[in-house]
Chains A and B, each alone.
Chain A
Amino acid sequence: MEESNSCFFNLEVLNSLTEDSLHEIIDSYNGFCKASQSLLAGSGDLSVGPDVVSHVHALCKHRLRSLVQDHFLRLLEETFERNGASRFWRHFDPYARVAGLSKNDDLDIDEDEIQSVLYNALEEVTLEKQYQEKCLLMVVHALQSYKDQMSEDKDDFEGERNYLTSKYQWIVSSVLMATLPRHFPVILHWYFKRKLEELSTIMDGEFCDDASKGKDAMDLDEKVKICNKVGEMDVDECYNDHRFSENSRLVKNIGKIVLDLRNLGFTSMAEDAYASAIFLLLKAKVYDVAGDDFRSSVLQSIKGWIQAVPLQFLHALLVYLGDFVSYESTSSGLKSPLAPQPSSCCPGIDTPSEGLVRWKLRLEYFAYETLQDLRIAKLFEIIVDYPESSPAIEDLKLCLEYTGQHSKLVESFISALRYRLLTAGASTNDILHQYVSTIKALRTIDPAGVFLEAVGEPIRDYLRGRRDTIKCIVTMLTDGSSGNSSSSGNPGDSLLEELNRDEEIQENAGVDDDFNTDDRQAWINASRWQPDPVEADPLKGSRNQRKVDILGMIVGIIGSKDQLVHEYRTMLAEKLLNKSDYDIDSEIRTLELLKIHFGESSLQKCEIMLNDLIGSKRTNSNIKATINQPSQTSIEVGDDGTSMDVISATIISSNFWPLIQDEPLKLPEPIDQLLSDYAKRFNEIKTPRKLQWKKSLGTIKLELQFQDREMQFTVAPVHASIIMKFQDQPSWTSKNLAAAIGIPADALSRRINFWISKGIIAESHGEDSSDHVYTIVENMVETSKNGGNTGGTQELLGGDEEEERSVASVENQLRKEMTVYEKFILGMLTNFGSMALDRIHNTLKARMVFKLVPPEKEVLHLYKSFYLVYEISLEIRLKSYVKNLW
């Protein structure tokens, strides 16, 4: 054995060895082996010490110093492996099954048991290690004392010892690591988790206690106050508590275990374990506090909790471990710029150590990230109840400022939108409301509107594909009160409010009316352009310019403001024509607001429409006054008590109104008479103007009197005409009735459904199979349909049920107007062979300056229909265009 060892030496040295010295070496080596063996094996018995020392000296004499070191270290390793490590691990064998479990699972292990096991095991292995260290030190001393004899140079002792002890440390940890069972980290993690939970309940109690002291005085900003309290909590207040002792005992326990683990070389593992336990605890806390409640801000209370619980613990732990190197945390550049207030970093700790600051930053970042993830996942819900959930939005904004993970928000929100909102099942109204809320909410988070752009894109695209989008938008614009959208009747998200708000902001809109508005808009956009602020300074002025304009974004869905105005006009016409009192105050207000936003010229026609109503009111009272005085007796058509008093009229300037659908209708004789009198009077007052009645339009309030009941209705002229025919004759065949009223039979059967559904008229088959007989229902008993409505007032616009509109729908109007363009486009195609869509559109624009040019979409539509009709003749010419299309 010694031969093999000796061969590391210079071979010439071997030659110089005498027989004696060889024997001496062998003897002392054997002696050293034996002595050290017994030294390490002996439990605490240091009696063989001097033996070892003499042998070491002997070996050193023969320059076998490294042999001594190597041999002893190997011996230590073997012994530790045998005695320390294997015994240490054996303690944990009963828990081997937990290795497979994930960290979050609750282990059903007795808490005290595992604590004591861990404690005992660590104690034992530490003792063993300490003993071995003592032995090592002895050898070191022996080596050193020899060295001292030989030469006087002393300086290397420290180095020698450090070298050997660190080597030993390495051996210990490598032995342990090499034999590490898989369940040990889990056990550690579990242990720390339990301990921390225990600790946090204690500290939480303190936290809450503290809060409840001031609870009487608290009301709204309860949580803020709590945080302030925590922030102010100073050393005395915190540590005077009797719980402190328990607290510090716990911390000491944990600290001892951490220390032991460190000694064994498990520094990083221990840190991992308690760090993950802390993070787990923090996560649970965030989930607990934040939850599904979006109505209050939680960020402050979470921050307060971080300072109150985990940071206190870490502080105590770090102090215990002696890591407390009191750097001036504020002086160095170590401090992250993200740390908001260095002074309030850790309450009760005067000079937070660098480690603690790092921990604080880590914990806060983690808290921000957790909260942010939580909020982003629920962003859809948050936005659904937006105005109430603004605290949650504020929280999210702060989190995002800290973490900068905006892209996460965009991605997750878009997918939520796709999944939950942009489906066939969602009503356009709801989508629009959500869109508006989204704009408002994201405007808070990101005033520059960059992310809003990304999020809004899919919604806009989707809405463009819906036919009723424009209608819904206009309804939202004009209906201050919930109106049609009663389902989502949140007064907060009416666009009218936005109009109101914009009133102050938009001073110079609509100044240059004769400018082409699209060009103007483009120019404004161009002059305002700013690069998208990826990391832009949030305090720069650019964000003021990039003000997120809700109305602009809404109009952006439609494409052009002309279309919106057009739709608005149609709806306004509808609304005005159904009015029987001349009360248009709210419409005037809306129009004024719209004028501010969209410019006066585009809403000229709407203004004329409103003006017509005002004029009608004046004219109406004028006519009534003059008609009643001079010839009262002759006018009074006494037949059934109807007089001029019941008549009123809306007189419109038809050129400025949308296309009005007028159907022929024979009104009841007395009414017709009254109307023509009215028209005559108008002609007299306003010569040379005359009236043309739109007989099928209007609103009639009437009361039906039966033998046993009375009912009130608000209906259209057709319905009134129908029911009035039944005054003369209780039953009619459909043909006769249709002839009497002057409408086609199929129209009649449609209209009369109104009365049938009300239980006033019954339908039965006549002799002729195609002919129906309508009869007045004599008493209520026969009509079970009508339920409890006897004698009640029924406020129902007759037209509504049958989806009837006095104004032609925008689509119909467009189609009519399109015929002009059809010819144009056809002509262009014949001349040029093929043209791109935008070129066609531009040409149309250039030619038809006075009229509303259809949007590109409509042109495209026309194009497609041509394609079908003129397939053969145009096919070849269209080909290049078609290629662009599909």
Chain B
Amino acid sequence: MPSRRRALLVLLSLIVVSVASLALAVAVGSVSLDLDDALSRQVVLALRLPRALAAFACGGLLALAGALMQILLRNPLADPYVLGISGGASVGALLAMLFGLPLVLIDGGAFVGALAATLLVFGLGHGEGAWTSTRLLLTGVIVASGCGAVVALVLTLAPEAQLRGMLFWLLGDLGQSGTPWPALAVLGVGLAAALPYARDLNVLARGEITAMNLGVPVVRLRTGVQAAASLLTAVAVTTAGSIGFVGLVVPHLTRLAVGNDQRLLLPAATLGGASLLTLADTLARSIAAPVQLPVGALTALIGVPLFLFLLTRRGGLA
């Protein structure tokens, strides 16, 4: 258990890392940064900064949602998409693309799809007692695979010209993200709402009976956590598509580094995820420039070996 002072120090250094990652994202690109030059200023303000902030927000949203989901399901291997949210969002977004709807309606479709999948899992997966986590997980997995089937169907039916956009959306891509402010606002509100309950979450992670014994309102807390994690994920997916592995690997790595005290873990994972996705997106748009890679493919490429390493490492998982 970290002391309050150590927690503040860790968070302070992560804030420095976050600011540095944003600065790097704004500085790197085909047009070099020169604040005296009008064109350069416009590129930075209109293109790079919003995209960097969108990456920052999405990374934070996914990491926070992942950390919450891992507590909710008492499983260090849970991720924000495990309850079918990304599947639902994919169906919504791809259907909107199939019918050639404008960007704002694609985002809307993704959000509606995410919420629909959440409500479906929420409604079907809620039972009493010790089976809740397993039942939630199974319901989520089934809903996700159902969505996967619909996605496959849409991809088959889609005209050639739309396939590339759909593929990018499915992999997760920040090139199409609009204004970053709603995502940033949701991230701020979500983190501020979760922090007062951080110690309650510590106790909930110890098991339902233990939490009830210690006076934690388990049913209310679980419902709140599930709703919050779902909303955070839905906003992230709406902004950038299904970016994988950030929500799984970042909370997990953060737990290994700073321990499982949610008072430190939640903000640390948020800042870590935000910085990581900002850097990954900078890499994705500069590594093979002028070709832009979908950032989701990059996070998966980094995430998969990292995760396998953690999995096989002795004592890396409880």
**Bound pair: A and B?**
no
B residues engaging A (CB < 8 A)? Answer: none
